Structure 1
């Protein structure tokens, strides 16, 4: 269950927000409160929150100081600032810290709920992007970011590979498919992608394996077969050389991130 942390040194405001959000959430979210920035920071150091709603003026540690500290965390929550004063400087600094919304007291319940719904959608999008970044191979992405479009032959070769990752495809197989000399194809592929054919194929297979590890419950042996390796033992060796961990460890790390980021 996702958590929303409400921070305000005024008991009436703090409890008012909590009750309003609990009525709106109807058990879908856990609403936690803290009466100071110091208490909130201590809680966040040991727990995860999807959304932080904090007053801007509080003793000991103000809302902006809290946000600045929280932003340095590995998975910071999305932030909504509330204030009894429409100070331009505060609002400007809040935006610089990436604060999603700046709400003025007295709080309108409808606007509060709208801001919370928007913030939680933002958090989901951030989570989705982080998850996709963990799936994508940076070197494969770099071949796309170079900005140079692939020639027709290399483009066709990549499409052929994607459709035959489950088979023991060789560079000669691709060259024959394209009716090209294997040596010429090798040079052309490296020139346009920045990777040798062998490295590209290995990284593409590992990336596909990561997608299957995170999105299915198939066994390591089944995934090994689907990405073109004849033995699971060799697949594990190749996967570890690219990712620095075994397929099983990768799957556990993905499952853990699903539990903790949210």
Structure 2
């Protein structure tokens, strides 16, 4: 069972989210319900949750500040933002901090459960990456242990939506050459660095296209790390066979 923490200064929201989770069949246990940012951080230190659902505007410490601080001791945890603010800058900042998703209030049960389920799947995939040679790399998100390859993949998995992500940046971070990084990523994933990065970004974009009709295609492109909507659309079509707009329209139909 995964451990889940809920943080929202509105009791009715906290209890509503908890009820949604408890009446679902998702393999999660609620380990805490925090009423403000400071309390959320205290609970995170005590319980080390795998998943956190957190409001963006709370007294004492905002949800964004909580995520920024918590990432230092919970690098593998997934953070889902819930907010009453339909603000692209808020969503962009949340993604930059490594938030998994950004949900708007009022929260719809099916949408929340879909996002939580996707987060749980991502946690499992992060912890069990199967390389082309059939070997298993465990605990990939924990960049403090393991091989250089595990650390590099963990970093890419966590920061793939960063528009500054590059082969050179990752190589410099782990003090290895770009050619060596290219080889170990290819050996582990059977993909080049760019192919692996694009695969992560397109999966995230597909999820946004499926769950966030309020976001424009250009905004989704920016959120998942592409500075050019045209380039994003080209990469998306290469991966899926359709453009982002066509994909969204098919989902609506």
* 1:61 aligned residue: 61
Deviation at 1:135, TM superposition (A): 6.2
* 2:102 aligned residue: 102
Q: Does 1:77 align with 2:77?
A: yes
Deviation at 1:74, TM superposition (A): 4.8
Cα distance in structure 2, aligned partners of 1:16 and 1:60: 23
* 1:47 aligned residue: 47
Which ranges in structure 2 are unaligned for 5 or more consecutive residues?
130-136, 153-175, 184-253
Deviation at 1:146, TM superposition (A): 3.6
Query: Structure 2 vs 1, CA of residues 128 and 95 (structure 1 numbering), >3 Å: closer, same or farther?
Result: same
Query: Structure 2 vs 1, CA of residues 10 and 127 (structure 1 numbering), >3 Å: closer, same or farther?
Result: same
Which structure 1 residue ranges, 4+ long, deviate > 6 Å from structure 2?
A: none
Cα distance in structure 2, aligned partners of 1:135 and 1:51: 23
Query: Structure 2 vs 1, CA of residues 132 and 38 (structure 1 numbering), >3 Å: closer, same or farther?
Result: closer
Cα distance in structure 1, aligned partners of 2:74 and 2:113: 27
Matches within 5 A, 1:88-237: 88-129=88-129, 131=138, 136=147, 146=180
Query: Structure 2 vs 1, CA of residues 23 and 131 (structure 1 numbering), >3 Å: closer, same or farther?
Result: same
Tell me, yes or no, if the aligned pair for 1:70 and 1:76 is still in contact at 8 Å.
no
3-state SS of 1:82 partner: strand
3-state SS of 1:24 partner: coil
Offset from partner CA, 1:42-86 (integer Å, 9 cap, x none): 111122211110000000011000000011115441011000110
* 2:29 aligned residue: 30
Tell me, yes or no, if the aligned pair for 2:100 and 2:119 is still in contact at 8 Å.
yes
Offset from partner CA, 1:105-133 (integer Å, 9 cap, x none): 00011000000001111112222356266
Cα distance in structure 2, aligned partners of 1:87 and 1:147: 37
Query: How many residue pairs get matched?
Result: 146
Please give the TM-score of this superposition, normalised by the length of structure 1: 0.50
Query: Per chain length, whose mean CA-contact separation is higher, i.e. which structure has more relative contact order (CA < 8 Å, sep 6+)?
Result: 1
3-state SS of 1:25 partner: coil
